[in-house]
Amino acid sequence: MDSAATSQTTEADTKDATLIYRQSRWTRLTHWIWAFSLFFMLLSGLQIFNARPQLYVGKESGFAYNNTVLEIGAENTDNGPRGFTKLFGHRFDTTGVLGWSGPRGRETPRAFPAWATIPSYYDLGTARVVHFFFAWVLSTTLLVWLIAGLINGHIRRDLAPHVEDLRKLPRDIVDHAKLKFHHTREYNTLQKMAYGGVLFVLLPLMIITGLAMSPSMNSVLPWLNEVLGGRQTARTIHFTVMVLLVLFFVIHMLMIVAAGPINELRSIITGWYRTDPPAKHDEPAERSA
């Protein structure tokens, strides 16, 4: 009887030991502030893009220049109005989604459809107010997070890749391709690279290019446009960063679903996370998405 009780106690202790406090309150708070801000920035940004649905490379643009890299629009054809998207000179029919969209019989020419913009109707002024408000929320939170992360060691301890991480990269790629995930406290190599790319490259680049597009910043940072190759180039980079962030979000969501959505969501909401029992691996393994 005593032996059985001891065995049950040991199993219970092992099970309880797999539940760890993974995410701090500050990490969870900033995560949701960024997610909320980026959502509104994306949809309001698409509304702003609709005012001029072309992207260029260079300091100037117009009919006299051949520097368009993306154009979304609509045109009249023998079959009626059609939407189109031109990317690096290649033309695609995107009727119903891009260029020409809306309820049947009430379609209108607009780059991105109403369901993908804030507000859904054309209102450039409101879109700018929403976009800039959440841009400042995002920028301020990112700056505070960066300072705090440097002070408390979170960046060095959890996000900075080490030599051992690079050695594990090939195995990590294979494991993710096989949807084989390890649930531990540490970030795996791909996570460190992805999160680091977003936090230290994409988001700062989005902020910098956003500042470069603002006419009011010309007097404060007159050299910024020159460094980026002109306001039109900055606008194109800004849009490209947005596309990369959306791609990151899609992959991030797929990894969460594949790794176990309940466990992952519990971690970012409550901070508590269920790890693999020690018996499942002989050495510390990487943490899931």
pLDDT band at 95 (very low <50, low <70, confident <90, very high): very high
| Phi, psi values for residue 55, rounded to 5° | -125, 140
**Average pLDDT estimate for 26-33:** 91
CATH 1.20.950.20 domain locations along the chain: 18-52+121-280
Q: 167-211, pLDDT tens digit by residue?
A: 988 999 998 888 888 888 888 899 999 999 999 999 999 999 999
Long-range contacts of 161-168 (CB under 8 A, 24+ apart): 161/189, 161/192, 161/193, 161/196, 165/189, 165/192, 168/286
- Tokens 């956003």 belong to which residue? 210
Predicted TM-score (pTM) of the model is 0.83
Q: pLDDT at residue 231 above 90?
A: no
**Average pLDDT estimate for 246-265:** 92
CATH architecture of 18-52+121-280: Up-down Bundle (1.20)
Q: 107-132, pLDDT tens digit by residue?
A: 999 999 999 999 999 899 999 999 99
pLDDT score, position 65:
59
Structural contact between residues 198 and 226, judged by C-beta atoms closer than 8 angstroms: no
Q: pLDDT at residue 79 above 90?
A: no
